């Protein structure tokens, strides 16, 4: 008999898991909607021409491709030296940013000029499965396209703070940096612009491997020791300063006009968030680099004090949409690490008691007139109550056991007398208490 | 520049479409939950060994297969005569019934013995796209596994009636038949059991091509004219009878014990639904055949009087889960045609006014202190109000136009005086009326 497990790195979500996932997604959605974000959904499959070249070489390798069928496949297979690119033209969604860029390019005129969207959908990556790393997992993105206003940054960041607070996260901060500040630090340290990418990879590890570790990495990456030290002074030397102090220090270290402009952006952002949930959480972190090369302005990362690693991140990327539309459309986005959030909430028992199934189970006796029971269930359901009927003849003990196993809090035991007198004993399964009620009483008690 | 359209037969759901789809899915989910159905979600990809051979030859051809990668692909391509089956081991979900059967086989012991689940997820079929036919579309299934009790049939059918009623459908009925009655009619007509399948395909068309059309088809399908006539008498001859009359007529026409048992099942089902929404809608229809060969008991189809074609259907299938688990697990299910329901609701303007975006847009003047505006928005949002901030400096007319385009009903115009006096003019964009309110007043007016 064939395996009945889901494919490697993918999961079946049984009712308990779906309920928890939906609780979190619901909180996220409600909060983002309060900020005026609108929902978007895109197809599971995209043309490979949309996906390839957007995620770097490693991304291209991790894409799932959909095999040609019929004629097209036969034709491809007769070609000499047939390879991967001859066998597929569709791939599975790899993130939610590229589909957004495609959508803005395609429907630009029928969308609001300043488009605020949230999107919670699965993506697929053929990565090696590991603890907390799946091949099918959900992403949760908010983005604002069409404006360079710093209000957009403020909205995205404070909405995200609200989401995390709503979910019960308390001790987190948002590391903040700016792509142009990073570039200016590289320049000020006398590092060749061609080495910017490799230098940033090393700097990004400051939290994990410390100053000495990063210095070693920088020199291994062909950066002179003096330059490495100078870069480390700027990125790691500000630990005791508050945001204003850091800005002042960077203003001195980075006199070039584009860096001064970027520091103005940062100062504006900090000022505008003063009266929001993000106000006390933003923390200027010159070592924050984030991997993605498409960022052009402010970048963010949520750091939890209770858990290592990030809960999400984002930044401004003003050039990506233009790759699809041919015209410049500025954009800022934030992606929450949904699977990570779910895992941490599970580990820290942060879920409230989520009512999953029915509120009451109707149990019957061997001679109960079932048509009346079905009718009663129907009327209770019309009143909005979640009702289960135990569908088989069984000992009462077995029926109550089933209710218990499904965490159904009440049982209604209905025999022929109850039907004829229209008085029903409602049993609280936790306390064992029982009260006899008519139909109106049941509706009041169970609602 | 590459195309920015979604792949053929697949759709981008823009905010308006998502909002309508979620409205319908939400109603479906709420209703099914009232019956105690629990949510299940399964991965987009399944092992091909799970999918192949379950949907007939045509189904196998319409499956999307996921191309091998890396080493595995290279190895496959060096084989002489490499074909489709060497290039893929994963496929995309084709329906929601086979994944359910796999899940019940895999997790049987940790699920309730009688498992009631609903599932609303997309499926993929490489069909030729046409009006109302997509390659990616949602299915919406409810099933009960683990019991042969007729209460299960009743729950599934009356829940589905409730769903359709909740959505605003009024004139629909549920055609009802039984697999064993169909088989017995074939036998009673003297048609060889080997021709049962082909005879049922013809009978199923009675609504579309009439008695004469079906008689022609039956004879073309190697069925003797006398047998065809006898079969047609049983299936088409009951038009003027009510359910009780039809049962009585079939009892006479089909004296074999298994047919009498099946008629008892039907009678029980009709009796049990008497006090539910399904009571007046069930209609015994001896010509109802439904395509799927896996049905073993009662079968159903929702027929709308206002729209041609079916809104959904289902039936009992007691052998499918056993194909995965090796042990018999009875099951009954119903699938709603979600895409069709959405299309009909759109055409008949059955959607209520769905509030999609923000309730109020805050518009600012050139010299408005923005930190205060962001703070005000933050406090209104904390009070549960959906608030949009126009993020750029622009003429007031342009800001109000944007609010209007997004169907935002109110605007709050905030200049420096409003900030200092904490009195805000709230403008109703439909009527043009304006009232000046403090923050508490805004929260009351907008909630």
The verdict on residue B45 lying in a domain is yes
- B47 and A7 in contact by Cβ < 8 A? yes
Question: How far is the CA of A61 from the CAs of A52, A54, A55, A363, in angstroms?
Answer: 9, 12, 9, 56
- A14 and B111 in contact by Cβ < 8 A? yes
The verdict on residue B5 lying in a domain is no
Task: Pick the residue from chain B with its C-alpha nearest to A11.
Answer: B43
Alpha-carbon distance of B169 to A180, in angstroms, equals 58
What CATH number is associated with residue A317? 3.30.930.10
Sort A43 into a burial class: Cβ within 10 Å, 0-12 / 13-18 / 19+: buried
**Is B97 known to sit in a ligand binding site?**
yes
Last residue of a domain, one of B300, B323, B347: B347
Same domain as A309, residue A410: no
The verdict on residue B3 lying in a domain is no
- B136 and A44 in contact by Cβ < 8 A? yes
Tell me what percent of the residues of chain B surpass a pLDDT of 70: 99
**Mutation to test the B interface, candidates A43, A61, A101, A330, most B Cβ within 10 Å:** A43
Q: Which of B408, B416, B420 is nearest to B446 (CA)?
A: B408
- Look at residue B292 and tell me whether its pLDDT is greater than 70: no
Residues 6+ positions from B298 with CB-CB distance below 8 Å: B153, B176, B177, B178, B179, B265, B266, B269, B315, B316, B332
Question: Which of B50, B103, B273 minimises the CB distance to A374?
Answer: B273
Same domain as A143, residue A76: yes
The verdict on residue A256 lying in a domain is yes
pLDDT in tens, B114-144: 999 999 999 999 999 888 889 999 999 999 9
Alpha-carbon distance of B102 to B117, in angstroms, equals 13
Query: Which residues 345-374 of chain B have a CB within 8 Å of chain A?
Result: 356-358, 361, 370-372, 374
Contact residues, chain A, for B106 at CB < 8 Å: 4-5, 12
* A&B contacts, CB < 8 Å: 283
The verdict on residue A10 lying in a domain is no
Min Cα separation A155/chain B (Å): 8
Min Cα separation A287/chain B (Å): 27
Alpha-carbon distance of B235 to B214, in angstroms, equals 11
Task: Pick the residue from chain B with its C-alpha nearest to A33.
Answer: B386
Task: Pick the residue from chain B with its C-alpha nearest to A392.
Answer: B149
Alpha-carbon distance of B260 to A278, in angstroms, equals 71
Task: Pick the residue from chain A with its C-alpha nearest to B2.
Answer: A49
The verdict on residue B1 lying in a domain is no
Min Cα separation A211/chain B (Å): 37
Whether residue B158 lies within 8 A of chain A, CB to CB, comes out as: yes
Last residue of a domain, one of A290, A322, A347: A347
Same domain as B366, residue B334: no
- B155 and A14 in contact by Cβ < 8 A? no
- B372 and A4 in contact by Cβ < 8 A? no
- A39 and B33 in contact by Cβ < 8 A? no
Contact residues, chain B, for A15 at CB < 8 Å: 38-40, 117
Same domain as A193, residue A113: yes
Min Cα separation B428/chain A (Å): 18
Same domain as B383, residue B238: no
Min Cα separation A258/chain B (Å): 22
Q: How would you classify residue B293: left for phi > 0, otherwise alpha for psi between -120 and 50, otherwise beta?
A: alpha
Number of Cβ within a 10 Å radius of residue B421: 10
Whether residue B122 lies within 8 A of chain A, CB to CB, comes out as: yes
Alpha-carbon distance of A8 to B89, in angstroms, equals 12
In B132-204, which ranges are E strands? 136-145, 172-178
Same domain as B337, residue B193: yes
Q: Which of B39, B143, B43, B40 is nearest to B93 (CA)?
A: B43
- B2 and A49 in contact by Cβ < 8 A? yes
Whether residue A52 lies within 8 A of chain B, CB to CB, comes out as: no
Lowest mean pLDDT among A151-155, B58-62, B395-399: B58-62
CB of B130 closer than 8 Å to CB of B9 = no
| Adjacency order of strands within the sheet including B172-178 | B38-39, B115-124, B136-145, B331-336, B310-316, B298-304, B172-178, B282-284
- A106 and B5 in contact by Cβ < 8 A? yes
Min Cα separation B52/chain A (Å): 11
Alpha-carbon distance of A20 to A27, in angstroms, equals 11
- 3 state SS of A190: coil
- A144 and B88 in contact by Cβ < 8 A? no
**Residue B272 CA neighbour count, 13 Å, CB half:** 23
What CATH number is associated with residue B392? 3.40.50.800
Domain count, chain B: 2
Same domain as B321, residue B380: no
Lowest mean pLDDT among A168-177, B304-313, B323-332: B304-313
Question: Which of B22, B36, B112 minimises the CB distance to A386?
Answer: B36
Provide the 8-state DSSP code for B188. H
- Per-residue pLDDT band for B208 (boundaries 50, 70, 90) equals confident
The verdict on residue A87 lying in a domain is yes
CB of A117 closer than 8 Å to CB of A100 = yes
Contact residues, chain A, for B109 at CB < 8 Å: none
**Residue B178 CA neighbour count, 13 Å, CB half:** 24
The first and second tokens of residue B102, run together, are 């796999």
Question: Which of A33, A272, A374 minimises the CB distance to B374?
Answer: A272
Task: Pick the residue from chain A with its C-alpha nearest to B277.
Answer: A378
φ/ψ of A433, rounded to 5, equals -65, 150
Last residue of a domain, one of B347, B382, B400: B347
User: Helices B150-167 and B15-34 meet at what angle, rounded to 10?
Assistant: 140
- One digit per residue, the tens of pLDDT, for chain A of length 447 reads 678 999 999 999 999 999 999 999 999 999 999 999 999 999 999 999 999 988 888 889 999 999 999 999 999 998 888 989 999 999 999 999 999 999 999 998 899 999 999 999 999 999 998 888 899 999 999 999 999 999 999 999 999 999 999 999 999 999 999 999 999 999 999 999 889 888 888 888 888 888 999 999 999 999 999 999 999 988 876 668 899 999 999 999 999 999 999 999 999 999 999 989 898 999 999 989 886 678 999 999 999 887 777 899 999 999 988 889 888 899 999 999 999 999 999 999 999 998 878 999 999 999 999 999 999 999 999 999 999 999 999 999 999 999 998 999 999 999 999 999 999 999 999 999 999 999 999 999 998
Alpha-carbon distance of A122 to B212, in angstroms, equals 51
Same domain as B367, residue B339: no
Whether residue A36 lies within 8 A of chain B, CB to CB, comes out as: yes
Alpha-carbon distance of A70 to A81, in angstroms, equals 19
CB of A191 closer than 8 Å to CB of A300 = no
pLDDT for A120 equals: 98
Question: Which of B43, B77, B277 minimises the CB distance to A12?
Answer: B43
Question: Which of B42, B77, B147 minimises the CB distance to A6?
Answer: B42
Number of Cβ within a 10 Å radius of residue A239: 6
Question: Which of A22, A47, A275 minimises the CB distance to B3?
Answer: A47
- A11 and B43 in contact by Cβ < 8 A? yes
Sign of the Cα pseudo-torsion (B388, B391, B393, B394, in order):
negative
Q: State ipTM.
A: 0.93
**Mutation to test the A interface, candidates B15, B29, B100, B339, most A Cβ within 10 Å:** B15
- A112 and B162 in contact by Cβ < 8 A? no
Tokens 């974000």: give the residue.
Answer: A37
Same domain as B402, residue B341: no
Question: Which of B67, B106, B107 minimises the CB distance to A66?
Answer: B67
Q: What is the residue-averaged pLDDT of chain B?
A: 93
The verdict on residue A353 lying in a domain is no
Same domain as B257, residue B129: yes
CB of A36 closer than 8 Å to CB of B357 = yes
Q: Alpha helices, DSSP H only, in A358-434?
A: 370-382, 396-405, 416-421
pLDDT in tens, B209-264: 889 999 999 999 999 999 999 999 888 766 688 999 999 999 999 999 999 999 99
Question: Which of A90, A126, A371 minimises the CB distance to B69?
Answer: A126
Same domain as B258, residue B174: yes
Contact residues, chain B, for A144 at CB < 8 Å: 391
- B39 and A15 in contact by Cβ < 8 A? yes
Min Cα separation B430/chain A (Å): 19
Whether residue A43 lies within 8 A of chain B, CB to CB, comes out as: yes
The first and second tokens of residue B258, run together, are 């298994």
Same domain as B310, residue B383: no
Q: State the residue range of the domain holding A40.
A: 15-347
């Amino acid at each position: 008999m064939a395996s009945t497990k889901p494919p490697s790195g993918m999961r079946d979500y049984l009712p308990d898991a779906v309920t928890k996932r939906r609780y979190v997604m619901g909180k996220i959605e409600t909060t983002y909607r309060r900020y005026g974000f609108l929902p978007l959904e895109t197809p599971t499959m995209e043309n490979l021409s949309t996906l390839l070249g957007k995620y770097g070489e490693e991304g291209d390798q991790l894409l799932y491709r959909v095999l040609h069928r019929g004629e097209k496949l036969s034709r491809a297979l007769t070609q000499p030296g047939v390879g991967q690119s001859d066998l597929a033209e569709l791939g599975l969604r790899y993130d939610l940013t590229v589909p957004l860029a495609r959508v803005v390019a395609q429907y630009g005129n029928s969308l609001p000029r300043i488009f605020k969207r949230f999107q919670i959908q699965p993506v697929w990556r053929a990565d090696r499965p590991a603890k907390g790393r799946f091949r099918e997992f959900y992403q949760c993105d908010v983005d604002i396209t069409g404006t360079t206003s710093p209000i957009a940054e403020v909205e995205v960041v404070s909405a995200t703070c609200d989401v995390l607070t709503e979910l019960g996260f308390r001790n987190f901060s948002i590391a903040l940096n700016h792509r142009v500040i990073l570039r200016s630090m590289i320049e000020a340290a006398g590092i060749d612009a061609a080495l910017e990418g490799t230098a940033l990879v090393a700097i990004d590890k400051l939290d994990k491997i410390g100053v000495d570790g990063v210095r070693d990495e920088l020199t291994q990456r062909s950066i002179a020791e003096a330059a490495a030290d100078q870069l480390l002074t700027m990125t790691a030397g500000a630990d005791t300063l508050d945001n204003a102090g850091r800005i002042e220090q960077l203003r001195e270290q980075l006199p070039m006009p584009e860096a001064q402009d970027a520091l103005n952006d940062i100062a504006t952002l900090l000022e505008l968030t003063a009266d929001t949930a993000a106000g006390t959480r933003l923390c200027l972190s010159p070592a924050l680099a984030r991997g993605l090369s498409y960022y052009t302005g402010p970048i963010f990362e949520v750091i939890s004090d209770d858990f290592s690693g990030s809960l999400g991140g984002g930044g401004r990327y003003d050039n990506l949409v233009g790759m699809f539309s041919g015209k410049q459309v500025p954009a800022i986005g934030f992606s929450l690490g949904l699977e990570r959030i779910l895992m941490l909430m599970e580990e820290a028992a942060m879920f409230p008691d989520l009512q999953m199934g029915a509120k009451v189970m109707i149990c019957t006796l061997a001679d109960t007139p079932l048509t009346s029971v079905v009718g009663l269930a129907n009327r209770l359901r019309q009143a909005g109550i979640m009702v289960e009927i135990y569908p088989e003849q069984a000992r009462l003990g077995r029926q109550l056991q089933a209710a218990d196993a499904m965490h159904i809090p009440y049982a209604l035991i209905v025999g022929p007398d109850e039907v004829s007198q229209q008085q029903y004993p409602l049993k609280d399964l936790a306390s064992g208490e029982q009260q006899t009620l008519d139909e109106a009483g049941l509706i009041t008690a169970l609602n």
